[in-house]
Chains A and B, each alone.
Chain A
Amino acid sequence: MLSQQALHEIASVQSQEASSQHALLTALRCMQAERLHVGPQEVEFLAGLLDLSPATVEGVARFYDQITKEPVGRHVLTLCRGISCYLCGADAVAEETEQILDVPAGGTTSDGRLTLRLAECIGDCSHAPAALLDDEFVGPFDPQSLHAMKDL
């Protein structure tokens, strides 16, 4: 279910002093990156891998915004709606983005290419309205730039 590289990364953060659960956050991140979600099957796999109960894994997975139960698209566009971005027109940007992509916030384009998410402050307020395309900061975000991103 996970690549050798991910398994290696998870193993590398395990340490003697901490219980296996210490690696759970890293494991969830790896799973989200490779399988694009952490659903029931993924939870069970990680529970087995780290010798935890599935409920424990599920509880942690459903705590964090970046770990999703449903699969996301191949790319995730995260628009910041924090107060600074709000003051710089984030609402309008989000609305325009929804129209261009033809998906509501939280949705994924029909071709599975892109998931649009709204986030609380993402910590790039000097580039308001801030945005993340996958891991990269792409603010100030101009929805019109999406037309150039069609070949993502």
Chain B
Amino acid sequence: MTNVLTRHIEQRDQARLAVALRGGAYEGLRRALKLSPAELIAEVTASGLRGRGGAGFPTGRKWSFIHPQPGQPVYLLCNADESEPGTFKDHYLLKHDPHLVLEGIAIAAHAIGAAKAYLYMRGEYASIARDVQAALQEASAAGILGDHCLGTDFSLQIEIQLGAGAYICGEETGLIQSLEGKRAYPRVRPPFPAVHGFVDQPTVVNNVETLANLSYILVEGAQAFAALGTDRSTGTKLICISGAVARPGVYEVEMGYPLLEALRREAAGVRLGRRLKAIIPGGTSVPVLTAEEAAPVMIDYESMQAAGTMLGSGGMIVFDETADMPKALLRIAEFYAHESCGECTPCREGTGWMAWVLRRLVAGEGRPGDLELLLRVGGNIEGRTICGLGDASVQPVRSFLQKFRPEFEALLPPARDAGPEWQRHGHGPRTARHGAPGDEALRSEPVDGPPDAAL
């Protein structure tokens, strides 16, 4: 298999410039700087490279939206806020081959005409940021980055900004807000960052892995890159395999590689010889696949979509046969409730509400209709929020409930229970725990019960 991103990752001291240069680092930048921005964008467009942050938007096309007014500054923001549960590929790239990422940043900056780029890393990556900073200084001192990159007219200042613990900073407008020193409340679009981004100027936000592909594309050519993978999902993908596997880690596979093959060959299969129960293939924000569903799936955008899920960030979370799916879903729901920024109503209230309902279900205090309530709350979030976090929070809830429904139904009280007392008798806090045997009050007919009381 051809390695695009991990060719030198095992190389000892690859973070040191001299070592990286021996492996051909910054050769892609050298070639990129010989191209005009338009030629460079055309080359990357021809490679078919799509954004690796989760959405899979064509990178060349994203760059082509930048049309600054004369004299207007343009910014490139490299998104290293990597916070999608089960995702740690950017961590891996930045730690082991920072020059590959820095080179990608410089190539992209040249393409869009940015003189300044920010590498926004999540606060938890502070120790990695120190190493990246050292690499950046080394490359700048060597005249590769900074003023007159590689002796050309192109100058680029790269600054590293550390976050301080908030998932929403990985959302591109949330990242911009955070970089501006604000609460990372995502912005309503339009206007899009390409027009009004960082400090209101044209801005491109690209994921670390996306940018790390650029060196290869420039050195080997767009055609060589496009030859990898499938027709519409070109190149390779870093997959992060974690959870119930024998050898968790980051692996590079060519797009179109069979999902379970990757699990078996790269991650050495499910741990302790257990059977696979389910796999979330792209971070918790995408629908889960059962073992059966996962069998025919390939690691590429289209195959994932055909299976009703998404490639997402490539964070593959593996559940073995012992996994308690309601508990796992509660853990995921609590993540979204904790990380919802609280700006827009459906996500702020809905994520917390879903976590509440799941918590009582798992605690054995579920109520009739709770599963329908979860789906209804999810439906009221989906498609109605400012950013994608709302939609993301619904995917695991809906797919877990759909695919592992018996496990959730087992947590519900017997059907004769008419629902919580406060709902049947009007106002006031609930005093009795429903479902308690022998509680006569709970057996009475609902006075004004909710429509779902009969369920």
Let me know if A135 and B127 touch, CB within 8 A: yes
A64 touches B165 (CB 8 A): yes
Alpha-carbon gap, A126 to B245, bound state (A): 10
Residues 227-240 of chain B: 1 if any A CB is under 8 Å from the residue's CB, otherwise 0? 00000000000001
Known A25-B164, A63-B166; contact A123-B199, beta-carbon cutoff 8 A: no
Q: A25-B164, A65-B166 are in contact. Are A126 and B250 (CB under 8 A)?
A: yes
Instruction: Determine if B86 is an interface residue (Cβ-Cβ < 8 Å).
Output: yes
Which of B123, B180, B243 sits near A21, CB closer than 8 Å?
Answer: B180
> Chain A residues near B332 (CB, 8 Å)?
83
Give the shortest distance, in Å, between A142 (CB) and chain B (any CB).
Answer: 16
B interface footprint on A48-85 (CB within 8 Å = 1, 0 otherwise): 00100000000110011111000000000010011110
- CA–CA, A25 to B121, complex, Å? 12
Are A120 and B161 closer than 8 Å at their CB atoms?
Answer: no
CB within 8 A of B124: which of A18, A86, A122? Answer: A122
Per-position contact with A for B308-330: 1 when CB-CB < 8 Å, else 0? 00000001011100010000100
Question: Does B335 have its Cβ within 8 Å of any Cβ on chain A?
Answer: yes
Establish whether residues B184 and A63, one from each chain, have CB atoms under 8 Å apart when the complex forms.
yes
* Distance to closest chain B CB from A93 (angstroms): 14
How far apart sit A32 and B86, CA to CA, in the bound complex (Å)? 28
Q: Are A28 and B91 in contact (CB under 8 A)?
A: no
B250 lies within 8 A of A66 (CB): no
**Does A124 sit at the interface, judged by CB under 8 A?**
yes
> CA A65 – CA B249 in complex, angstroms?
26
- Name A99-152 residues within 8 Å CB distance of B: 119-128, 132, 135-137
Which residues of A sit under 8 angstroms from B82, Cβ to Cβ? 123
In the complex, the answer to whether A125 meets B184 with C-beta atoms within 8 Å is no
Contact in complex: A121, B181 (CB < 8 Å): no
Which residue of chain B has the shortest Cβ distance to A140 in the bound complex? B248
- Asked if A60 contacts B182 (CB within 8 A), the reply is yes
CA separation between A120 and B181, bound complex, in Å?
22
**Would B161 and A121 count as touching, CB distance under 8 A?**
no
With both beta carbons as reference points, the residue of chain B lying nearest to A122 in the complex is identified as B124
Q: Say yes or no for A35: interface residue by CB 8 A criterion.
A: no
Of B85, B90, B180, B339, most buried by chain A (CB within 10 Å of CB) is: B85
Task: Kindly state the separation between the CA atoms of A115 and B344 in the bound complex, as whole angstroms.
Answer: 32
Whether A60 pairs with B85 at a CB distance below 8 angstroms is no
Central interface residue in A22, A32, A123, by most chain B CB within 10 Å: A123
Interfacial chain A residues near B335, Cβ < 8 Å? 82-83, 120-121
B278-293 residues at the A interface, CB under 8 angstroms: 280, 284
Q: Does A11 contact B (CB under 8 A)?
A: no
Q: Known contacts A18-B199, A84-B86: does B182 contact A120 (CB below 8 Å)?
A: no
Tell whether A132 pairs with B249 under 8 Å between CB atoms, given A17-B201, A29-B162, A125-B87.
no
Contact A123–B164 (Cβ < 8 Å): no
Tell me the minimal C-beta distance from B417 to chain A in angstroms.
29
Q: Is A24 among interface residues, defined by CB-CB distance under 8 A?
A: yes
B window 118-134: CB within 8 A of A: 122-127
- Of A26, A83, A120, A137, which one neighbours B162 at CB under 8 angstroms? A26
Q: In the bound complex, what is the Cα–Cα distance between A135 and B95 (angstroms)?
A: 14
Contact call B123/A83, Cβ cutoff below 8 A: no
B210 within 8 A of A: no
Shortest B277–chain A CB gap in Å is 11
Complex: A124 Cα to B90 Cα, angstroms:
10
Q: Is A23 an interface residue (CB 8 A)?
A: yes
With the chains together, A29 CA to B124 CA distance in Å? Answer: 12
B167 interface residue (CB < 8 Å to A) = yes
Contact B73 A120 (CB under 8 A): no
Inter-chain CA distance A23–B182, complex, in Å, is 10
**Quick check: is B207 within 8 A (CB to CB) of the other chain?**
no
Evaluate whether A124 and B199 lie within 8 angstroms (CB atoms) in the complex, with A26-B161, A83-B331 already known.
no
The answer on a CB contact under 8 Å between A64 and B86 is no
Could you say which residues of chain B place their CB within 8 Å of the CB of A84?
Answer: 85-86, 242-243, 248, 317
Taking CB as reference atom, which chain B residue is nearest A57?
A: B181
Which interface residue of B127, B250, B328, B331 has the most chain A CB atoms within 10 A? B331
A26-B161, A66-B164 in contact; A135/B126 too (CB < 8 A)?
A: yes
Cα of A28 to Cα of B163 in the assembled complex, Å: 10
Complex Cα spacing A65 to B123, Å: 10
Interface check A1, CB cutoff 8 A = no
Q: Contacts of A21 on B, CB cut-off 8 Å?
A: 180-182
Q: Which of B79-97 contact A (CB under 8 A)?
A: 82-88, 90-91
Nearest residue, chain A, Cβ from B318 = A87
Q: Which of B73, B241, B315 contacts A17 (CB 8 A)?
A: B73
The 9 residue pairs across chains A and B that have the minimum distance between CB atoms: A65-B165, A24-B181, A64-B164, A125-B242, A21-B181, A84-B242, A66-B165, A121-B85, A126-B248
Q: What are 25 A-B interface contacts by the 8 Å CB criterion?
A: A17-B201, A22-B181, A23-B181, A24-B181, A24-B182, A26-B162, A50-B181, A59-B183, A60-B182, A60-B183, A63-B183, A64-B123, A65-B165, A78-B124, A82-B85, A83-B243, A83-B332, A86-B331, A87-B242, A87-B244, A87-B317, A87-B319, A126-B240, A128-B243, A135-B126
Contacts A65-B165, A83-B243 aside, 5 further interface pairs with beta carbons under 8 A come to A66-B165, A86-B328, A121-B335, A123-B91, A125-B242
